[in-house]
Structure 1
């Protein structure tokens, strides 16, 4: 049935991935005022000051480098689609459980990519002692991990209940 508890958690995974896709994951301020590094689901960008040349306004004397991380957004989209598909696989709990396992792997990969990008590339930017700040998108990924674990737990509980009732027949 579609109105089971794991349906709510699977839907919350899709919502959390939507939040992570639409909000920044991490940002770090540089040593000077306009310097900033940020990570979203689709790009990693750094804005740096360039020493101004004679006759060049200060607004133009900053450079921005943008690196595409499209694979991060793709993984987030796949997790959302997989969890929405798992909602409608309520008749086959083993398929739901397998989809939750795949979601767990993809969510772990997402966390690994985000932490690698922020802790490795972010440390080299600006003040090395400052790690930057994680934003709403990052916490949405953590919420998706928790919801995935809870959904998997309730799916296994339902499967155990059904197997136990089959033995009584």
Structure 2
């Protein structure tokens, strides 16, 4: 367990977990014209996607002994966050132009971008570990 925490990719994965599992409860996705904030829980699709992303982060952290599995899980998580970002973009481009319900974008819409950056950094660290193990195996 201590070895897992010592690795930098675990820190990046914990960061991705916090970004997709904790911060969406704090930051609204957007604010409607009446001043009412719209959080991810108000839409089933956003709730499912944020939940899946959080689950993938936890799975990746727990599979620290299997670097290849971690790498694949992180790639799936990146794709999931890109889908989430695409849905946010679609919503902001289609609904923000309507006169009765003008919305202001919130910080929550940018959380998938930060999560993607953390996951890419984790994958780089995993790749670096994998290369190190392969080079040690060659020396034996």
TM range (shorter): 0.7 to 0.9
Cα distance in 1 for partners of 2:99, 2:27 equals: 21
The match for 1:136 is: 107
Q: 1:126 to 1:37 in 2, by over 3 A?
A: farther
Q: Which runs of 5+ in 2 are unaligned?
A: none
2:13 alignment partner, one of 5, 10, 13: 10
What is the CA deviation profile of residues 112-162 of structure 1, one whole-angstrom value per residue up to 9, with x for unaligned ones? 11111111122224498xxx5432212322211110111111111111111
Per-residue deviation, 1:89: 0.8
Number of positions where the alignment pairs a residue of Structure 1 with one of Structure 2: 136
The one of 106, 109, 124 equivalent to 2:98 is 124
More helix by share: 2
TM-score calculated relative to the size of structure 1:
0.72
User: Considering only aligned residues, what root-mean-square deviation do their CA atoms show, in Å?
Assistant: 2.0
Q: Which residue of 2 aligns with 1:27?
A: 31
| 2:56 match | 82
Task: Report the counterpart of residue 120 of structure 2 in structure 1.
Answer: 149
CA distance in 1: counterparts of 2:128 and 2:46, whole angstroms: 32
Normalising by structure 2, what TM-score? 0.86
Matches of 2:111 and 2:65, distance apart in 1: 28
Structure 1 gaps of 5+ residues are 30-34, 44-68
Is the contact made by 2:81 and 2:116 (CA closer than 8 Å) also made in structure 1? yes
Q: CA–CA distance in 2 between the matches of 1:125 and 1:90?
A: 50
Partner of 1:52: none
* Structure number, greater radius of gyration: 1
Matches within 5 A, 1:36-75: 39-43=38-42, 69-75=43-49
The answer to whether the 8 Å contact 1:6/1:150 transfers is: yes
Higher-strand-fraction structure: 1
